[in-house]
Structure 1
Amino acid sequence: MDESTEPENLNPLERFGRDVRQVRLARKITQKRLGTAIGYSEGYVSKVESGTLLPRPSEKFAKGCDTVFGTGELFAGLLERIDEGDHPSWFFPYLKLERKATRILDYSASLVMGILQTDAYARAIFSSSHPRESPDLIDGRVAARLRRREVFDRERPPLLWVILHEACLRTVVGDSEVMAEQLTYLTRVMASPQVDLQVLPFSAGAPGAHTRPFTLLTFDGSSTVLYADGPQGGKLYDSAETLAVHLDSYDRLRANALSPAHSLALIKTVLKEY
């Protein structure tokens, strides 16, 4: 198909794939040769170019294209803008830091944190919070959320420590089937050496001064930032005083939560109810 007949109503992944194909052909490089050069199969390249690789091409692929094509950071930038388009603008600064963090400490008050959500659970949340959005936009949001799991594919993945309030287990998102799948996924995640998960039970009483969720990101053990939700979206904080308060709060939450083993037992008990 030549440019004069190529449809303009392409989604972001299709546009990315089209651009890869156009530059590849201009450089007279085959799909097989491109894939071999950057460590992917010919089939992978084909799916990228057709816009059918889900949730989206990897950062390694985009950077590899830039190296092989000599395009600077063109494709890495295009891929980043795909992510940016599927997230609210106030969240993207956090997302960029999450990808670099060596430790992620999260307190979730009523919903399972995004990086641990299943497709169906995330879809139910977005469908409920954005009831007037088209299915395509919902699909983009869900795919973007699931892509956050890619941090665990890094050569040195971060340590994730999550404290889930029991309300996260009992707030029915979607329906019983969605919740059963979500809790089953949590039990599998807990087997990973990179993940520590504790449940703060209702019996622990009021969860200290913080009823809103928050996340602490640490980088190489030398610096920490706080991400907390607000009425107009999330915000990053790095003041020493604010960090000290939330680090202390996290220690208290961790101390009052169930042990990982007892947390797993509680999750399995609630799972049977679903």
Structure 2
Amino acid sequence: MANGSRQAAWEFFGTELKRRREDAGITQTALGTRVFVSGGYIGQFEQAIRKPQLDVAERIDEVLRTDGFFERMCRKLIKETPYAEYFAHVAELERLATEISDFAPAVVPGLLQTPEYARAVFLASHPFATDDYVEERVKARLDRAHVLKGATRPVYWVILHEAALRTPVGGPAAMVQQLEHIAATARERRAMVQVLPFSAGAYPSMGKMLKLMEFPDAPPTAYTEGVLSGNLLDDPAMVKQVQAAYDQLRAAALSPEASLALIGSAAEDYRKCASTI
């Protein structure tokens, strides 16, 4: 489904939700309480800011007695997205964000991945996948990176743990290309890149990737990810805690200049290794 038609589907979902909620005489806050989200969350559904989530859609159907309408609509949106169900709404929010901050403890973030690197990541998780499946996922990941290329691109800040530089995903040649791409993105001022070195020792949220997003007309969100699962947070207190952890990571990381030097050094190590193969 193209971005335009997908957005139109979100808007239809939101319009119907607002109409049926108001017909039932229920406020956003009251509906949110009954389906275990905030009233602001319901408002974001209605304004097509946030992608509908299946479990919430099912509970909305129960409360509004809409005979599975919102569940069916949500399943259609999920089916037609190239992303994993737990990440699809995050990918859409990236397009709306005015600021994105990533922390990557082991793997280069999707917004910075090259085709070869992304392909190796997917094959590691899906060793028996067909070529068509892998290429579809790679294309979807590269399409996400378009948000960093437009005139209205978000402010993008990324902190890479040194482990992400030193793990040879896809082999030495692929890593040379990947690290050069990160450095070029930083030099073109499309991203602020820092590296958290091994020497920094223990750090907040050990081993957990973090993503923070800010929006012009909605509260900030935080996203963390586990094995085949993701957790999107919009509770202000929890988002504030994630922001504090990110600030600590930023303080412990190398300066942007020193980070680029380390990235260049790692690329040179891989280049030497590739030349001996």
TM surpasses 0.5: yes
**d(CA) in 2 for partners of 1:105, 1:172:** 24
Unaligned stretches of 5+ residues in structure 1: 1-15, 17-56, 64-79
Deviations 1:6-54 (A, max 9, x none): xxxxxxxxxx8xxxxxxxxxxxxxxxxxxxxxxxxxxxxxxxxxxxxxx
**d(CA) in 2 for partners of 1:92, 1:256:** 31
Match among 149, 152, 160 for residue 148 of structure 2? 152
Report the counterpart of residue 264 of structure 2 in structure 1: 268
- How far has the Cα of 1:86 moved from its partner? 1.9
Deviations 1:226-267 (A, max 9, x none): 111023411211112211111111000000100000000000
**d(CA) in 2 for partners of 1:81, 1:221:** 23
**d(CA) in 2 for partners of 1:217, 1:84:** 24
Report the counterpart of residue 93 of structure 1 in structure 2: 89
Structure 1 142/232 Cα, relative in aligned 2: closer, same or farther at 3 Å? closer
Report the counterpart of residue 36 of structure 1 in structure 2: none
- How far has the Cα of 1:192 moved from its partner? 2.5
Match among 94, 97, 102 for residue 98 of structure 2? 102
Structure 1 239/140 Cα, relative in aligned 2: closer, same or farther at 3 Å? same
**d(CA) in 2 for partners of 1:105, 1:258:** 16
1:253 is aligned to 2:249: yes
Whether the aligned pair in 1 keeps the contact of 2:6 and 2:77 (CA below 8 Å) is no
Whether the aligned pair in 1 keeps the contact of 2:78 and 2:88 (CA below 8 Å) is no
- How far has the Cα of 1:62 moved from its partner? 9.8
Whether the aligned pair in 2 keeps the contact of 1:83 and 1:144 (CA below 8 Å) is no
Instruction: Name the % identity.
Output: 39
Report the counterpart of residue 221 of structure 2 in structure 1: 225
**d(CA) in 1 for partners of 2:104, 2:257:** 19
Report the counterpart of residue 242 of structure 1 in structure 2: 238
- How far has the Cα of 1:101 moved from its partner? 0.3
**d(CA) in 2 for partners of 1:151, 1:224:** 18
**d(CA) in 1 for partners of 2:262, 2:79:** 35
Runs of 4+ residues over 4 Å off in structure 1? 59-63, 80-84
Deviations 1:82-106 (A, max 9, x none): 9944211111111111110000011
**Secondary structure in structure 2 of the residue aligned to 1:235:** strand
Whether the aligned pair in 2 keeps the contact of 1:84 and 1:92 (CA below 8 Å) is no
Counterparts of 1:104-253 in structure 2, within 5 Å, are 104-220=100-216, 223-253=219-249
Q: Could you state the TM-score of these two structures normalised by the residue count of structure 2?
A: 0.68
Deviations 1:153-187 (A, max 9, x none): 44411011000000000011011011111001111
Select between 264-273 and 232-241 the one with higher mean Cα deviation. 232-241
**Secondary structure in structure 2 of the residue aligned to 1:190:** helix
CA RMSD of aligned residues (A): 2.4
- How far has the Cα of 1:61 moved from its partner? 10
**Secondary structure in structure 2 of the residue aligned to 1:229:** strand
- How far has the Cα of 1:221 moved from its partner? 7.8
Amino acid at match of 1:248: A
Structure 1 82/138 Cα, relative in aligned 2: closer, same or farther at 3 Å? farther
**d(CA) in 1 for partners of 2:187, 2:4:** 27
**d(CA) in 1 for partners of 2:220, 2:5:** 30
Q: Between Structure 1 and Structure 2, how many residues are aligned?
A: 203
Amino acid at match of 1:264: L
Structure 1 247/119 Cα, relative in aligned 2: closer, same or farther at 3 Å? same
Report the counterpart of residue 25 of structure 2 in structure 1: none
**Secondary structure in structure 2 of the residue aligned to 1:234:** strand
Whether the aligned pair in 1 keeps the contact of 2:210 and 2:223 (CA below 8 Å) is yes
**d(CA) in 2 for partners of 1:181, 1:148:** 19
